[in-house]
Amino acid sequence: MTRWPETGQRCWSCQRLTTNDVYFLEDSDRWVHRCRYCFVVQKFTMTNTDLDQLSTWQFELPPELIASRPATKRDDSRLLVVNRGSGTIEHSHIRELPSFLDPQDLLVFNNTQVIPARLFGFRTATQGRWEGLFVEQSAVGDWTILCDTRGRLTPGETITVLRAYGESTGDGVDFNQQQPASQLLITLKEKLEDGSWHVEVSDPRSALEILAEFGSLPLPPYMGRKLADAEDQVRYQTAFASQPGAVAAPTAGLHFSTELLQQCRERDIRSVEVTLHVGIGTFRPVTSERLSDHLMHDEWCRLSDDACQLIQQTKSIGRQVTAVGTTSVRTLEAAFANCGHIGPWEGRTRLFIRPGYQFQVVDRLLTNFHLPGSTLLVLVAAMAGYDLTMEAYRKAVEQRYRFYSYGDAMLIR
């Protein structure tokens, strides 16, 4: 058995740095990782897989496993539990989550709220159908939006936006019956490098007020419907959503019912909230052949001083910080990267977490099952390892777990 040099990685059990001895087993394709402090041993398959190649992150997903509707209740979802220390994978349910955590562990939730950012209307001059997605509002009131329509849009052109829910039926856009009073005019000013448009709106109200009247929750395209219905209005928001600004839900948080939150409290599992407003990057696939060429989208996030104190207290007593969702991971790790320690921070981050990344704050991750070839899948593998992650996904497909926003969950311990 040949000893490999000591690594600078964090032990998956005791979380200490630079404590790992790594051995290669001769005449085998396995290597062993052993922490000299806690003696946890983990075996891995040696792989020559190029983790920078986009094709490495593809897998076959039967279309029928893509969840277009949520489970009957939030805590009815299944839970795949991945144990990094033993390399084992077990099947459970999200309602059993408290049993996989320890008293005084900390859950970190993203409290962002999805805004009704999807817009519908027509090109004023041609009457051609148009759809848009609100991205952000500038300090002077102008908007940045994405546009989808036939033909080529030009600066100076106007878009007539209609209420997403028709006044007569309450269940869809009515392109013929709405009166001018229920219309909004958008003037295209400049097309930006990323394909979005800088526009001027005819209504002086805030974006949130306008979107509340005209917009619909922007459901992901794989759900197969453009308009969010009454069920979506409730279930595509987390139970703790309080900070409007996201164009997609932090989906791992969708599993938490009031009953599950109470069960966590009864087990003395504490919680804290951060904010990351999920941006349009969540809808955009990786297009470069190599991840190193991918320009990560930026998102605004905030970690408060109160949250930092609770995180520091949790760490000081040797308990684990469990991020609920990849957005919570990005917030915590981005704050550390910008402060150099666990400290309060807010700003925009382009942090791209890939295998080899050294987690500074997050110990465990609760997450949904993500799209093939997505940066979110890459983030999961940064914590669980590539081989164990892909094995977990293989088992999830084999056992018919539900994927994506309304799907089931995975806990990486």
The SS3 call for residue 355 is coil
pLDDT tens-place string over residues 145-166? 999 999 999 999 999 999 998 6
d(CA 9, CA 2): 19
**What's the whole-number mean pLDDT along residues 203-218?**
95
What pLDDT shows up at residue 219? Answer: 94
| Ramachandran bin of 54, using left for φ above 0, alpha for ψ from -120 to 50, beta for the remaining angles | alpha
pLDDT-above-90 percentage for the chain: 77
Identity at 81, one-letter amino acid code: V
* Lowest mean pLDDT segment, chosen from 2-6, 108-112, 141-145, 355-359: 2-6
- What band does 30 get if pLDDT is binned at 50, 70 and 90? very low
Please check the confidence at residue 117 and state whether its pLDDT lies above 90: yes
Lowest mean pLDDT segment, chosen from 42-46, 309-313, 319-323:
42-46
Kindly state the tokens that stand for 56: 């490495």
Average pLDDT over residues 290-319: 95
Question: Where residue 10 falls among pLDDT bands split at 50, 70, 90?
Answer: low
Provide the pLDDT confidence category of residue 297 given band limits of 50, 70 and 90. Answer: confident
How many other CB atoms are found less than 10 A from the CB of residue 148?
10
What's the mean pLDDT in 244-265?
97
Model pTM above 0.75: yes
Residue 19 pLDDT = 44
Task: Give CA–CA dist 350/342, Å, rounded.
Answer: 18
Residue 8: how many CB atoms within 10 A of its CB?
10
Q: What is the pLDDT of residues 32-60, one digit of tens each?
A: 455 555 544 444 444 568 999 999 999 99
